[in-house]
Structure formats: C-alpha cells, structure tokens
Amino acid sequence: MIAAALMLACLAGCGREEKPVVVVYTALDEMFSRPILARFEEQTGIEVQPVYDTEASKTTGLVMRIINEAGRPRADVFWNNEIAQTIVLKQKGLLEPYASPAAEAIPGPYKDPEHYWTGFAARGRVIIYNTDLVDEPPASILDYLDPKWKGRAAIAKPLFGTTATHAAALFALWGEDKAQTFFRDLLANDVAVLAGNATVRDMVASGAYAWGLTDTDDANGAVEDGLPARWQFPDQEQDGLGTLVIPNTVAVVKHAPHPEAARKLVDYLLEPDVERALAEMRGMQIPLNPAVDAPQNVPRMSEIRTMAVDFNVVAAQMESAAAFIRREFLK
C-alpha cells in the first residue's frame, strides 16, 4: 500500500523537464505576476514554474527559502516586490551578476552598479486616510507622533515587506538614535501595529483607524473599490523628508539550474511593456523607465519627492532595525 502511494506520488514529479523551464520565486502578488509570467510563456515557449509568497511572510519567506536552498538552488530568478531583501541576498553571495541589455533605461539609483539586481515598476509609501473621519489629512509620517492622532493611526508590523524596508530606510537616513526615538514615540502615541499593509488599508477604509501608512498598490485598491479612502504621498513639501519609493527587483540566483532561461526572463521583466502592464493593473506600479507611457492616474517618478537613501545602506541597516523593532514591538 505504501509502495503504491509513493509510486503515485512519484508520478506527480515525472515528465516535468520535457520542455525548457524557468523557476521564479516571486513576492509580487500572484494576481499581478501571474499574467505577466503567462505572457512570457506564450512569447518564448519556456514553461514558468512560479513559487509565490504567502501574505504572512511577504518576501522574507522566499528569501529564507533561497538561503535554505543555497547548497543546491531550485530558483532561477528572484522577482522581489521590494529591494532590501534582494540586497541582503547579494550580500550573502546568493545572486549571480547579469547586466541585462533591457536595464539600460532604468535610472542609476534603481539598479546595482555590479549588476546583481535591477529595479523596475516601483511602489510608493503613502498615507491612506478615511474620508469620513479625516478632513485635513496628515502630511508627514511625523504626524504619527502628534497627540491629535493618539490611538487613531495604524502602521504595519515593521518586520516584514515594505514596512521593514521603510523602517530600515529611516534608520539609514536619521541614524539609529533618532529612528529608535521615533519608533518608541510612535508606540507611546498608541499607534496600532497591524499584521500587514493590506490590513492597514482595510482597517482605515472600515473606519477603525483614521489613517495609516501603506503602499500605493494597496491604497489604490481601496479607492478603486469605492471605499471611503484616499491617499497621498507623505513629506512632499520643499526640504521635506520625501517618500520612500521601493522598486520591484529582479535577480538571477547563483548556480541557477536554468541560467539561460533565467536571463531571458530577466530581460523580459525589464521590458517597457511589462512596466506598462504593471502600471495598468490594480496595483498601479509606477514605471521607473521614463519612456514608459503609463495611464494618467499613475504618478510619474518626476512628480514625486523621493526619500534620498542609498539602498545598499538601507539593506545594511535591515538587521539592526529589525532587531530593535522586534525588541520594542513584539513584547
């Protein structure tokens, strides 16, 4: 009986290498990445085997898989929906440099000078607010500390996803002391720490909290659903902090089992058509390639005051920022 069951199980794994294959670990939401990858399959005939991340572990779960599998990688390409964890993988020596010709149009700050990773299709960190509860929306992330908002604002747990990157960016920008004080004061002002950015969106839209910090894709979803919510970029005034713009990143995994197909997929993902498609979707990703003609409702990079941070420094801050956050937030 065992033998029969196990043979049955083996059958599931048979015959999977008949046509060219590329394995991609993608942290971008499945509903957005699936059609993009399907089009690659149509165009090239290469079968894409995606592994998606779960919400709870956004990005970091896949990074852990790549680290665990380092001895014999299964993934060919890592398509991350943010940047810091990709740089962490580079620092751990788990990525392969690849200078894609399609990366030439991407601006310098959003690609690795050593070609280990390339950014595309970004999301911005935005303030989402409930229009029934807020007349004058907060303009800065420093408003988290305003007693006016005590117990009425929310933030995602800054240990995962783009919120973790944002926290590390503040550590990089302000230095440890100021950043730690900011987060301690934020907790002292009874800011609600929620499970993820989507939860922040849902809770603000439902009226449980007046405003919160989330990403453009989540915020746009609430607006498209007709919920009583609007969003805006924080800290856009002259000499302001600026908002953190976090690109998707794509990289070839070191010792990838299918390197040729991996490079083809990287080239494809960096094409203007992909950035345009991602901009047209509900996630409303902001194209980094200035030549991409995005829909009118999608913000242009030239119109956003972005936070002036070096992503390599941000990635270097990830561990110390996360250690502090764990200490202070997970008591």
Partner 1 sequence: MTDRRTPRRVFAGLTLALFAAVCVAPLAALAWRSLFEGGAWHLDAWRAVLAEPRQWTLLANSLTVSLGTAAASLLVGGGAALSLQYCPRLLRAPLGLLLCVPLLIPPYIFAVAWLDAMMRTGLLTPQFVAESVVSPSFGLPSVILISTLSYYPIVLIFTGVALRRFDRRMLESARLIADPLQTFFVVRFPLCAPWVFTGAGFVFLLTLTEYSVPALFQVNVYPVEIFTELSAFHEVGRAAALVLPLLAAGGVVVWAWGRWARPRQRWLSHSGRAVEGMPLGWKRTSLATAGCLGLAGLALGAPLTLLAVRTGTLAQLEAAWSDARQEILTSLLLSVCAATLLTALGFAMAWLARDSARTARLFHWSVVPFLITGPLLGTGLITLWNHPGPALYVFETILVLVLACAAKYLYFAYQGERVALQELHPRPLEAAQVYDIGWIRRGLRVAAPMTAPVRAAIWGFAFILSLRELEATAMLAPPGITPLSIRIHSLMHYGPGAAVASLCLLMTGLLLAAGCGTAVLYFTCRRVFHAYH
Cβ-based nearer residue to partner 1, 118 or 163: 163
Cβ-based nearer residue to partner 1, 56 or 99: 56
Cβ-based nearer residue to partner 1, 250 or 292: 250
- Cβ contacts of residue 216 below 8 Å, gap of 6+? 123, 124, 126, 231, 283, 284, 285, 286, 299
Does residue 212 contact residue 109 with C-beta atoms inside 8 Å? no
Query: What is the rounded CA–CA span in Å between residue 116 and residue 104?
Result: 14
**Least distance in angstroms from the C-beta of 162 to partner 1:** 13
- Cβ contacts of residue 134 below 8 Å, gap of 6+? 210, 211
Does residue 273 contact residue 279 with C-beta atoms inside 8 Å? no
Cβ-based nearer residue to partner 1, 68 or 181: 68
- Cβ contacts of residue 210 below 8 Å, gap of 6+? 129, 130, 133, 134, 149, 152, 153, 204
Does residue 201 contact residue 228 with C-beta atoms inside 8 Å? no
Cβ-based nearer residue to partner 1, 292 or 318: 318
**Least distance in angstroms from the C-beta of 301 to partner 1:** 25
Cβ-based nearer residue to partner 1, 67 or 99: 67
Closest by Cα among 231, 229, 142, 234 to 189: 142
**Least distance in angstroms from the C-beta of 312 to partner 1:** 18
Give kind and range of the element (H or E) at residue 25: strand 21-26
**Least distance in angstroms from the C-beta of 306 to partner 1:** 25
**Least distance in angstroms from the C-beta of 55 to partner 1:** 4
**Least distance in angstroms from the C-beta of 10 to partner 1:** 6
What is the binding site for partner 1 (CB under 8 A)? Answer: 1-2, 4-6, 8-10, 12-13, 16, 23, 29-31, 49-57, 60-61, 63-65, 67-69, 71-72, 74-75, 132, 157, 159-160, 164, 193-196, 198-199, 202-203, 205-208, 218, 221, 225, 227, 282, 319, 322-323, 326-327, 330-331
The number of CA neighbours under 13 Å toward the Cβ of 232 is 15
Cβ-based nearer residue to partner 1, 56 or 308: 56
Cβ-based nearer residue to partner 1, 106 or 316: 316
251: helix, strand or coil: strand
In terms of C-beta density within 10 A (0-12 exposed, 13-18 middle, 19 or more buried), how is residue 70 classed? middle
Write phi, then psi, for 147 (nearest 5 degrees): -55, -25
Q: Looking only at Cα atoms, what is the longest distance across the chain?
A: 72
Query: What is the rounded CA–CA span in Å between residue 168 and residue 174?
Result: 10
**Least distance in angstroms from the C-beta of 200 to partner 1:** 11
**Least distance in angstroms from the C-beta of 163 to partner 1:** 11
